[in-house]
C-alpha cells in the first residue's frame, strides 16, 4: 500500500480536504490531486475507451491519459496537474456503476483476443445498426461539463523576448539561467505544477536542488511561466507565434531564438498487461518519493532497460532506504503483469515476483513534437528513446534560431542534460545578438 | 490466455492491433494511426508514438530512421475552448459581439 | 505474444523468422504494370469509389496511383458530414442516393463507417438567411427530403445546449448524418483490390504523354504505365495533373481547417451549422466534437498548416453558440483543401480534345459525401451505360463557351 513518509512531514504544505468519489480524503496543498489519491489508496480513476480496462495514474507529469478525472464538474482533467484545493470534488469517469466495479469491463473478456472494430458486425444490416447504437452509447470518456465556465474571461498576454526556453527540467533551467546571465531577455515555459522536471523525481537531486536551480533562474532575471504549456507554434500567425496556455491565461510568445529543453516522456514497456493499474513509470514512483514523500508501494518490481541503469540504481536505493522491498527485473526477463484490479505480481522468465507495484523504467521518449512544428528535423532512434531532435555539435537544430538541449536530443540523463543546457545556451548567446 | 500488450493506452491499441494493421497493408505510420487510432486520444501520441514507431520498424524490417513521425498537430496539450476564444487572432464576423460583452 | 485479432486474417502470414510479410495490395510494392485499361490518378474516396464500382461491373484492368499514403488528401481530412440539404435539385437528388449507399456501406463493403443519421441543423441569424433556408426547404421537400423550418425554441428542443440568443430560425432534416471518413477508403480499396484492381501508394505522377495511337503514358518513380483511359481523381490537385496534358482546369485549392475535442459521452445528435460563419460541429462516434469554421478572404494555397487564427475563431464562435462547451478541450487541429470551383458546381467528363481523359473535381469541400454516388455513376458510364444528367451539365467547356450560364448554381457550399 502507498503511504506518506513521516520523514517528509515537515516539508508538507497545509493539510486540506478534498472529496474523491464522494469520500473525504486528507491531502496537502502542495500535492497534486493524483498524489493525494495515491496516498489515500484510491487505485482506479476511470476506464479505457474501447475495452473498459481500468485506468489510473502512470506518468504523474501530465503527459499520459491515465489519471483523467472529472474535477469540479469539468471532464477529462489530469489529476496529476491539478493542485489540491480545499473541497475539490474528484470523480471517476467512463464506468458503470463505478470505476472500481465497472460492468462494462466485460467487453475486455469478450474480446480477450482483441477486436477489429472496423469489421465488427458487418454481416447483416440489422446487427450493424444495433452495433452502431451500442457503440455510440459506449463512446466518449467524460460527460459534458456541468456548467458554463463561471470564472471571468481569461486574459491574453504577449511576450517578446530574446530567448524562449521550453521546459524547466535540468537542461532548460541551466539554459535559461545562462541566457539570462548573458543579458538576454529570457522566458522559461514549463507545464508542471512546479518547475524542475526530472530533478523532482530523482533522489540524487530532489526538491532542494530543483528549488535552488529555480531560484538561480529568478536571480538571473529570467521570467518563469509555471503551469504553462506550450500548445503550439503557429508559423503563419503574427510572424510566427508560440501559444502558451496557463490555467486562466493565454500567452502569445515571440522570440529571436528558441531552445527546446522538453526532455522525454516516461513510456511503458511492451510486456503483457502492461496497462494494468499498479504499473507506473519509474520516474513517477521517484517523483512521489522525492517530491511528495509518498512511498508508492511496499513490494516494488522494477522492470528496466539497461540504458537507464544508473538512474535506477539511485531510485532503487532510495526506495529501499524508505522501507520498500525492491526487485529489479531486466526487460528481457519480464513477461507480464499479474492481477485484476491492481498489479499483484510480475511474471518473469525466472518465476513470479510478488509485488504491489510494478515500476517501469524505459528510455524517456523525446518530447519533440513542438520542435517539429518549427520544422526541426527529428529522427527515430532506439538508443535515443524515440524521435529525438537532430542537432549539430553546438546544439543547433535544422531550423535557424531554434536550438535544443538535454534528453529531447536523445537520452543523456539529468547530470549531462544540465551541462548540455549550459553549453548550448553559451553557444546561442555567442551567435544570436 | 496471455494478456494484451498495450502500446497506446488512450485508445487501447495493442501490439496485435499493430501487427493486424501491417498485415492488412496499412504500413505508413499515418495509415497505422488512422487504422488503429493510436496517438489520437488525450495524450496525442506522447506515450505511444516512439513505441509504435520502433515496433513498426521491426515489423516492416526497416531501420527506425526510415520511419518518420506522424504530423505534429496543435494544440500540444488539451486546451479549453474558453482560453482560445479570447485570442486576438480570431476573425471577426459582422455579427460578432464585442469582446467586453 | 498475444494471439491474433478475431477477424479473417486473410493476408497475415508470417515467414519462418516471424517477420510479417506485406500484402502487395495496398503497399503497392514493386514496379507498375506496363499497361492498364484505366489508370485512376488519386487514391482518395473519389478514385477508390470509381475503382470499386468499375471492378464490380467487370472492368478489373484498373490501376490506382496515389501520390502519398492512403487518405493523405482531403478524403482523410474532412468532417464526415453527409446531407441532402442543398440548393440545386441535382445535388439534392444525388445526395439522396448517396445517403442510401452510406446506409448500406458497412454491409456491402464489410467495414464499419459509423454512419449515424442524427440530422443536420442549419441556424439562421437573420431574416435573409431564413428566407434562403425557406427557398431551399421548398425545393428539398419537392424532392422528397423532409427538411422543415424550426423556430429557435424548436431548435433548442433538438440541441438543448444551444444559446439561441440572436438565432432567428433553423432548417432541420433528420435523415442527414455524419460518418467516419477513413473506413470508406479502406472498404473501397480492399474490395477493389479483391476484385483485381491494383493499388499503388507513394507513387507521384511526374508526367503524362498523350500517345499518337490513343491513350496515355504516365511516368512515375515506379516506372511508366500505358493507359487507354485516365481518370483524374486528384481532388484539389486536379489542375496540376490536367496541366500535364495541357488542359486548364479553373478550380483552385482553399485551405479549410478543422479540429477535434476530447471524447465526451454522447449528447449532441445532429450536425449543427451556422450560416453566418460557416461554423459546423458534430459529435463523432468516438465522442469527440469535430468541427470547423469558414474564415473568408484567404488566398488559394496548398498549405495544410494549422493556424491560431482558426483555433481562436472556432473557439469564439462555438462557445458563443454553446457556452457549456467553454471548459471542453481541443485535442487536435488539422487542415484540408477545398477544391474550389468558380461556379460552385463540379467538373466532370472529358475535356475537349481529350476523349479518354476524365475529370472529377470542383466539389468545393463536399466531394466526400458525393463520392459514393458519383463513383457509381461514373463507373456505369465508363462501362457502357448512358451517362447520367450530371455529366452533361458538369463539363469543363462551360467556363469557356458560356454554356454554363443557364445552369442553377449551387450556393449552399457551407461548412
CATH number where B18 lies: 1.10.10.1100
* Nearest residue in B to A154, CA atom: B83
Q: What is the pLDDT of residue A326?
A: 98
Residues C51, C200 within the same domain: yes
Whether residue C86 lies inside any domain: the answer is: no
Provide the Cα torsion A196, A197, A203, A209; round to 10°: -20
- Using CB atoms, pick whichever of B82, B87, B93 lies closest to residue C277: B93
Q: Determine whether the interchain pair A140/C263 forms a contact, defined as Cβ–Cβ distance below 8 Å.
A: yes
Mean pLDDT lowest for which of A169-178, B2-11, B76-85, C383-392? B2-11
* Domain range for C140: 117-176+253-340
User: Using the beta-carbon criterion (under 8 Å), do B4 and C22 form an inter-chain contact?
Assistant: no
Q: Do C107 and A125 touch (CB under 8 A)?
A: yes
Alpha carbon of A122: minimum distance to chain B alpha carbons (Å): 17
| Grid coordinates belonging to A412 | 543523456
Q: Does B88 map to a domain?
A: no
pLDDT at C2: 39
Q: What is the pTM of this model?
A: 0.94
Residue in C closest to A71 by C-alpha: C327
ipTM above 0.85?
yes
Same-domain check for residues C257 and C336 = yes
Among A127, A147, A152, A236, most C C-beta atoms within 10 A, so best to mutate, is A236
Tens-place pLDDT, residues A52-70: 888 899 999 999 999 999 9
Inter-chain contact B12–A53, Cβ cutoff 8 Å?
A: yes
Q: How large is the average pLDDT for residues A24-48? A: 91
- Inside any domain, residue B22: yes
In a domain, B100, yes or no: no
Asked if residues C70 and C48 have their Cβ atoms less than 8 Å apart, the reply is no
Neighbours of B (≥3 Cβ pairs closer than 8 A)? A, C
Instruction: Find chain B residues with C-beta within 8 A of C114's C-beta.
Output: none
Q: How far apart are CA C50 and CA C40, in angstroms?
A: 8
Residue B1 pLDDT class (50, 70, 90 cuts): low
What is the CATH number for C33?
Answer: 3.50.50.60
Residues of B in contact with C314 (CB under 8 A): 84
The number of residues in chain A equals 433
Long-range contacts of A311-318 (CB under 8 A, 24+ apart): A311/A202, A311/A282, A311/A361, A311/A413, A311/A414, A312/A282, A312/A361, A314/A202, A314/A203, A314/A204, A315/A202, A315/A203, A315/A282, A315/A285, A315/A286, A315/A289, A315/A359, A315/A361, A317/A203, A318/A203, A318/A286, A318/A289, A318/A290
Q: Which residue has the cell 548540455?
A: A420
Q: For chain C, how many structural domains are there in total? A: 2
**End position of a domain, from candidates C289, C306, C340:** C340
Residue ranges making up the domain that contains B20: 6-71
Residue C103 covered by a domain: no
Joined grid coordinates for residue B90? 480570431
Model pLDDT, residue A123:
80
Claim to verify: residue C245 and residue C288 sit in the same structural domain? no
Say which residues have a Cβ less than 8 Å from residue C193's Cβ, sequence separation at least 6.
C25, C26, C199
- Asked whether the beta carbons of residue B28 and residue C70 sit closer than 8 angstroms, the reply is yes
Task: Look at residue C16 in the predicted model and tell me its pLDDT.
Answer: 36
Query: How would you write the pLDDT of chain C (415 residues) with one tens digit per residue?
Result: 333 444 433 333 333 333 434 444 565 678 999 999 999 999 999 999 999 999 999 999 999 999 998 889 999 999 999 999 999 999 999 999 999 999 999 999 999 999 999 999 999 999 999 999 999 999 999 999 999 999 999 999 999 999 999 999 999 999 999 999 999 999 999 999 999 999 999 999 999 999 999 999 999 999 999 999 999 999 999 999 999 999 999 999 999 999 999 999 999 999 999 999 999 999 999 999 999 999 999 999 999 999 999 999 999 999 999 999 999 999 999 999 999 999 999 999 999 999 999 999 999 999 999 999 999 999 999 999 999 999 999 999 999 988 877 778 888 888 7
Instruction: Spell out a b/e string for A262-281, using b for 16 or more CB atoms within 10 Å of the CB, else e.
Output: bbbbbbbbbbbbbbbbbbbb
CA atoms in the 13 A half-sphere facing the CB of C76: 19
Residue B48 lies in a domain: yes
**For A59, which residue in chain B has the nearest alpha carbon?**
B47
Q: Is residue C410 in some structural domain?
A: no
The pLDDT assigned to B2 comes to 67
According to DSSP H, which parts of A280-412 are helical?
Answer: 282-292, 309-321, 369-373
Q: To the nearest whole number, what is the mean pLDDT of chain A?
A: 93
Same domain, C349 and C299: no
Lowest mean pLDDT, pick from A51-60, A314-323, A374-383: A51-60
Q: Count Cβ–Cβ pairs < 8 Å, chain A vs chain C.
A: 124
| Nearest-CB residue to A118 (from C104, C112, C116) | C112
Contacts of B97 in chain C (CB under 8 A): 320
Q: How large is the average pLDDT for residues A232-240?
A: 94
In this structure, are C169 and C292 located in the same domain?
Answer: yes
Does the beta-carbon distance from C2 to B22 stay under 8 Å? no
Task: Looking at the structure, tell me whether residues C244 and C358 fall in a common domain.
Answer: yes
**C236 and C371, same domain (yes or no):** yes
Residues C245 and C281 in one domain: no
Closest chain A residue to C1, measured at CA: A272
Q: What is the pLDDT of residue C342?
A: 92
**B49 in a structural domain:** yes
Distance of CA C191 to the CA centre of its chain: 19
Residue A207: phi, psi to the nearest 5? -60, -45
Q: Is residue C225 part of a domain?
A: yes
Show which of C313, C340, C367 is a domain's final residue. Answer: C340
Q: Do B19 and C20 touch (CB under 8 A)?
A: yes
Tell me the helices (H) and strands (E) count for chain A, helix number first.
9, 27
Let me know: does C250 contact C341? Beta carbons within 8 Å.
Answer: yes
A144 vs C110, C267, C307: nearest CB: C267
Direct distance between the N- and C-terminal alpha carbons of chain B, in angstroms, rounded to an integer: 60
Same domain, C336 and C367: no
Contact list in B for residue A81 (CB cut-off 8 A) is none
Residue at C297 is within a domain: yes
Residue A203 scores a pLDDT above 90: yes
Sequence-separated (6 or more) residues with CB below 8 Å from residue A245: A228, A229, A231, A251, B75, B77, B79, B80, B83
Mean pLDDT lowest among A42-51, A294-303, C57-66, C367-376:
A42-51
Distance from CA of C98 to the nearest CA of B (A): 24
Q: Which residue of A has its CA nearest to B2?
A: A272
Using the beta-carbon criterion (under 8 Å), do A237 and C110 form an inter-chain contact? no
Q: C133 in a domain, yes or no?
A: yes
B75 to chain C: which residues are within 8 Å by CB? 311, 330-333
For testing the chain A interface, which of B36, B41, B50, B54 should be mutated: the one with the most A CBs within 10 Å? B50
Give the span between the Cα atoms of C322 and C186, in whole angstroms: 34
**CA-nearest residue of chain A to C4?**
A113
Mean pLDDT of A14-19: 95
Contact between A262 and A167 (Cβ < 8 Å):
yes
Cβ-Cβ contacts under 8 Å for A70 (sequence gap 6 or more): A76, A77, A89, A90, A91, A92, A93, A142, A143
Together in a domain, C290 and C235: no
- C113 and C123 Cβ atoms separated by less than 8 Å: no
Same domain, C328 and C260: yes
Residue C188 within a domain: yes
The structural domain count of chain B equals 1
| Average pLDDT estimate for B80-93 | 95
Q: Is residue B27 part of a domain?
A: yes
Count of CA atoms in the C-beta half-sphere (13 A) of A56: 23
- The answer to whether residues C192 and C334 belong to one domain is no
Domain presence at residue B38 = yes
Answer whether B95 sits within 8 Å of C186, measured CB to CB. Answer: no
Stretch A395-418: mean pLDDT: 97
Test the A interface: residue of C10, C105, C112, C295 with most A CBs within 10 Å:
C112
Q: What is the pLDDT of residues A241-254, one digit of tens each?
A: 999 999 999 999 99
Residue A141 or residue C261, greater confidence: C261
Q: What is the 3-state secondary structure (H, E, C) of B15-83?
A: HHHHHHHHHCCCCCHHHHHHHHCCCCCCCCCCCCHHHHHHHHHHHHCCCHHHCCCCCCCCCCCCEEHHH
CB-closest option in B42, B59, B73 to C334: B73
Residues of chain C in contact with residue B6, where contact means CB-CB under 8 angstroms, are: none
Q: For residue A97, is the peptide bond before it cis, meaning its omega torsion is within 30 degrees of 0?
A: yes
**Does a structural domain hold residue C15?**
no
**Contact at CB, C276 and B90, closer than 8 angstroms:** no
Q: What is the pLDDT of residue C13?
A: 36
Contact (Cβ atoms closer than 8 angstroms) between residue B42 and residue A48: no
Nearest CA among A193, A285, A201 for reference residue A247: A193
Q: Is residue B76 part of a domain?
A: no
Amino acid at each position: 500500500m502507498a503511504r506518506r513518509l513521516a520523514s517528509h512531514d515537515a516539508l508538507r504544505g497545509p493539510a486540506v480536504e478534498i472529496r474523491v468519489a464522494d469520500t473525504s480524503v486528507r491531502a496537502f496543498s502542495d500535492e497534486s490531486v493524483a498524489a493525494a489519491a495515491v496516498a489515500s489508496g484510491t487505485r482506479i480513476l476511470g476506464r479505457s475507451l474501447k475495452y473498459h480496462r481500468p485506468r489510473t495514474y502512470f506518468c504523474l507529469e501530465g503527459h499520459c491519459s491515465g489519471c483523467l478525472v472529472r474535477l469540479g464538474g469539468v471532464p477529462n482533467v489530469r489529476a496529476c496537474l491539478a493542485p489540491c484545493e480545499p473541497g475539490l470534488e474528484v470523480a471517476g469517469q467512463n464506468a458503470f456503476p463505478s470505476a472500481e466495479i465497472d460492468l462494462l469491463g466485460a467487453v475486455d473478456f469478450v474480446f480477450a483476443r482483441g477486436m477489429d472494430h472496423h469489421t465488427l458486425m458487418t454481416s447483416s444490416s440489422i446487427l450493424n445498426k444495433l452495433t452502431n447504437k451500442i457503440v455510440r452509447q459506449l463512446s466518449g470518456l467524460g460527460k459534458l461539463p456541468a456548467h458554463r465556465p463561471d470564472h471571468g474571461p481569461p486574459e491574453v498576454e504577449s511576450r517578446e523576448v530574446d530567448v524562449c526556453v521550453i521546459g524547466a527540467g535540468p537542461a532548460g533551467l541551466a539554459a535559461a539561467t545562462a541566457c539570462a546571465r548573458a543579458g538576454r531577455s529570457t522566458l522559461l515555459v514549463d507545464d508542471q505544477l512546479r518547475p524542475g522536471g526530472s530533478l523532482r523525481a530523482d533522489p540524487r537531486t530532489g526538491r532542494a536542488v530543483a528549488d535552488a536551480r529555480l531560484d538561480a533562474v529568478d536571480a538571473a532575471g529570467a521570467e518563469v511561466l509555471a503551469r504553462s504549456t506550450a500548445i503550439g507554434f503557429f508559423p503563419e500567425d503574427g510572424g510566427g507565434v508560440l501559444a502558451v496556455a496557463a490555467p486562466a491565461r493565454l500567452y502569445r510568445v515571440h522570440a529571436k531564438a528558441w531552445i527546446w529543453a522538453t526532455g522525454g516522456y516516461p513510456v511503458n514497456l511492451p510486456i503483457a498487461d502492461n496497462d494494468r493499474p499498479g504499473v507506473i513509470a519509474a520516474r513517477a514512483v521517484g517523483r512521489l518519493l522525492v517530491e511528495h514523500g509518498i512511498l508508492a508501494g511496499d513490494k516494488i518490481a522494477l522492470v528496466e532497460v539497461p540504458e537507464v541503469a544508473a538512474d535506477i540504481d539511485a531510485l532503487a536505493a532510495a526506495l529501499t532506504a524508505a522501507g520498500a522491498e525492491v526487485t529489479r527485473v531486466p526487460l528481457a526477463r519480464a513477461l507480464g503483469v499479474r492481477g485484476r484490479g491492481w498489479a499483484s505480481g510480475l511474471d518473469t522468465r525466472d518465476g513470479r515476483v510478488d509485488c504491489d507495484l510494478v515500476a517501469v523504467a524505459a528510455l524517456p521518449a523525446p518530447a519533440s513534437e513542438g520542435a517539429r512544428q518549427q520544422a526541426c528535423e527529428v529522427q527515430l532512434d532506439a538508443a535515443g528513446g524515440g524521435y529525438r531532435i537532430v542537432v549539430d555539435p553546438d546544439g543547433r537544430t535544422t531550423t535557424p534560431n531554434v536550438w535544443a538541449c538535454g534528453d529531447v536530443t536523445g537520452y543523456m540523463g539529468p547530470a549531462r542534460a544540465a551541462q548540455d543546457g549550459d553549453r548550448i545556451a553559451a553557444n546561442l548567446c555567442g551567435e544570436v545578438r | 490466455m496471455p494478456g494484451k500488450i498495450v502500446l497506446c493506452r488512450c485508445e487501447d491499441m495493442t501490439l496485435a492491433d499493430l501487427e493486424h494493421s501491417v498485415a492488412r497493408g496499412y504500413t505508413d505510420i499515418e495509415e497505422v494511426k488512422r487504422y488503429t487510432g493510436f496517438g489520437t486520444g488525450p495524450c496525442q501520441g506522447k506515450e505511444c508514438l516512439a513505441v509504435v514507431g520502433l515496433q513498426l520498424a521491426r515489423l516492416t524490417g526497416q531501420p527506425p530512421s526510415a520511419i518518420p513521425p506522424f504530423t505534429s498537430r496543435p494544440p500540444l496539450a488539451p486546451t479549453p475552448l474558453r482560453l482560445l476564444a479570447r485570442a486576438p487572432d480570431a476573425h471577426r464576423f459582422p455579427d460578432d459581439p464585442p469582446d467586453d460583452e | 505474444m498475444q494471439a491474433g485479432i478475431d477477424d479473417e486474417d486473410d493476408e497475415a502470414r508470417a515467414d519462418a523468422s516471424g517477420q510479417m510479410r506485406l500484402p502487395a495490395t495496398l503497399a503497392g510494392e514493386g514496379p507498375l504494370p506496363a499497361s492498364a485499361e484505366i489508370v485512376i490518378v488519386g487514391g482518395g474516396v473519389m478514385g477508390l469509389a470509381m475503382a470499386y464500382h468499375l471492378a464490380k461491373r467487370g472492368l478489373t484492368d484498373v490501376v490506382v496511383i496515389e501520390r502519398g499514403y492512403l487518405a493523405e488528401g482531403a478524403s482523410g481530412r474532412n468532417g464526415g458530414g453527409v446531407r441532402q440539404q442543398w440548393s440545386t435539385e441535382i445535388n439534392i437528388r444525388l445526395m439522396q442516393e448517396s445517403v442510401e449507399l452510406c446506409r448500406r456501406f458497412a454491409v456491402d463493403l464489410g467495414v464499419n463507417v459509423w454512419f449515424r443519421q442524427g440530422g443536420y441543423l442549419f441556424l439562421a441569424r437573420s431574416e435573409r438567411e431564413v428566407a434562403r433556408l425557406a427557398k431551399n426547404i421548398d425545393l428539398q421537400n419537392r424532392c422528397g427530403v423532409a427538411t422543415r423550418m424550426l423556430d429557435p425554441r424548436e431548435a433548442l428542443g433538438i440541441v438543448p445546449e444551444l444559446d439561441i440568443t440572436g438565432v432567428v430560425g433553423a432548417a432541420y432534416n433528420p435523415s442527414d448524418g455524419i460518418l467516419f471518413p477513413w473506413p470508406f477508403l479502406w472498404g473501397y480499396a480492399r474490395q477493389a483490390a479483391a476484385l483485381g484492381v491494383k493499388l499503388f501508394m507513394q507513387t507521384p505522377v511526374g508526367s503524362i504523354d498523350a500517345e499518337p495511337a490513343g491513350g496515355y503514358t504516365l511516368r512515375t518513380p515506379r516506372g511508366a504505365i500505358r493507359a487507354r483511359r485516365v481518370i483524374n481523381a486528384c481532388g484539389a490537385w486536379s489542375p496540376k495533373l490536367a496541366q500535364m496534358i495541357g488542359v486548364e482546369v479553373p478550380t483552385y485549392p482553399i485551405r479549410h481547417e478543422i479540429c477535434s475535442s476530447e471524447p465526451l459521452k454522447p449528447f449532441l445528435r445532429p450536425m449543427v451549422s451556422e450560416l453566418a460563419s460557416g461554423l459546423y460541429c458534430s459529435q463523432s462516434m468516438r465522442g469527440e466534437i469535430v468541427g470547423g469554421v469558414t474564415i473568408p478572404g484567404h488566398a488559394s494555397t496548398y498549405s495544410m498548416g494549422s493556424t491560431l487564427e482558426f483555433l481562436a475563431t472556432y473557439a469564439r464562435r462555438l462557445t458563443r453558440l454553446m457556452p457549456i462547451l467553454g471548459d471542453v478541450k481541443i485535442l487536435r487541429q488539422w487542415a484540408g483543401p477545398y477544391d474550389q470551383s468558380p461556379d460552385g458546381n463540379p467538373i466532370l467528363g472529358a475535356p475537349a480534345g481529350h476523349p479518354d481523359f476524365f475529370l472529377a473535381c470542383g466539389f468545393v469541400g463536399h466531394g466526400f459525401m458525393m463520392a459514393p454516388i458519383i463513383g457509381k455513376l461514373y463507373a456505369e458510364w465508363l462501362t457502357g451505360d448512358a451517362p447520367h444528367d450530371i455529366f452533361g451539365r458538369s463539363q469543363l467547356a462551360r467556363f469557356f463557351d458560356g454554356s454554363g450560364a443557364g445552369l442553377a448554381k449551387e450556393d449552399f457550399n457551407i461548412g
